[in-house]
Amino acid sequence: MDTKSKTPVGAYYEEHHITGNRLRQSFMEDVRKQMFRSWIGRGKSVLDLGGRDGSLTRHFLDGNRIVLGDIDCAALAHAKENYAVETVEVNLNETLPFDSDSYDVVVMAEVLEHLPYPQFALSEVKRVLRGGGGVFIGSIPLAYHLKDRWQVLRGRKLWMAGDPTHLQFFKYDEFVSLLSDFFRVEDVRILKGGKKAERWPQLFARDVAFRCFKK
């Protein structure tokens, strides 16, 4: 099908997620690589879900065993060719092909907003994490902050301000509450939103990183 005949969402997905145009691109890579590396540590078994071509994953390879899972086979091939990672094709809307209690750390960075059933995905993350200290880390864009509200007042849809493949639009409190249903939330840090977001995350936080522990 010609790209011009597709819906805006379909065309966007084709251009940015299938053709390889986003290879070697990772959102706020310099900030997240330092944060995630410090949260993960060394000597861990790590499952990176939705890590695509490994652009972010490569920063916490040292001293760890990494399995990279994604639905994009082309991106996985790039990761396998360029980095010392095991790759597995996974559909995050289905039961994960991993044993329960099998990973020290699960990473899901800028992924949950793309899933139709985030509660199911989180239940699977909890299942595959080891008890007694299993860590779930990641990041996610938020919605309904003041910038988004201004976009709506101007007559624009929420997805038009960002990636139209986003299926979830979480408010700050709503997202923290969702994490708390499955994990013990240890840390939520502002990635985008400026200094005001540190004091008023509900109004100004536009993207956050999180660290949780298996209950």
pLDDT one-digit tens code per residue, 171-204: 999 999 999 999 999 999 999 999 999 999 999 9
**pTM of the entire predicted model:** 0.85
Say whether pLDDT at 151 is over 80.
no
Q: What is the pLDDT of residue 76?
A: 93
Say whether pLDDT at 21 is over 70.
no
Between 164 and 96, the higher pLDDT residue: 96
Average pLDDT over residues 150-178: 80
As a whole number of angstroms, the distance between CA 154 and CA 140 comes to 24
What domains sit in the chain, N to C, each tagged with a CATH number?
3-214 (3.40.50.150)
pLDDT confidence tier of residue 165, bands split at 50, 70 and 90? confident
pLDDT one-digit tens code per residue, 26-79: 666 778 899 999 999 999 999 999 999 999 999 999 999 999 999 999 889 999
pLDDT confidence tier of residue 162, bands split at 50, 70 and 90? low
Q: What is the pLDDT of residue 3?
A: 38
CA 169 to each of CA 21, 113, 180: distance values in angstroms, whole numbers, following the listed order: 25, 7, 17
Q: What is the pLDDT of residue 1?
A: 37
Average pLDDT over residues 120-144: 95
Q: Is 8 exposed, middle or buried (0-12, 13-18, 19+ CB in 10 A)?
A: exposed
Give the type of residue at 6.
K
pLDDT confidence tier of residue 4, bands split at 50, 70 and 90? very low
Q: What is the pLDDT of residue 149?
A: 73
Average pLDDT over residues 130-142: 94
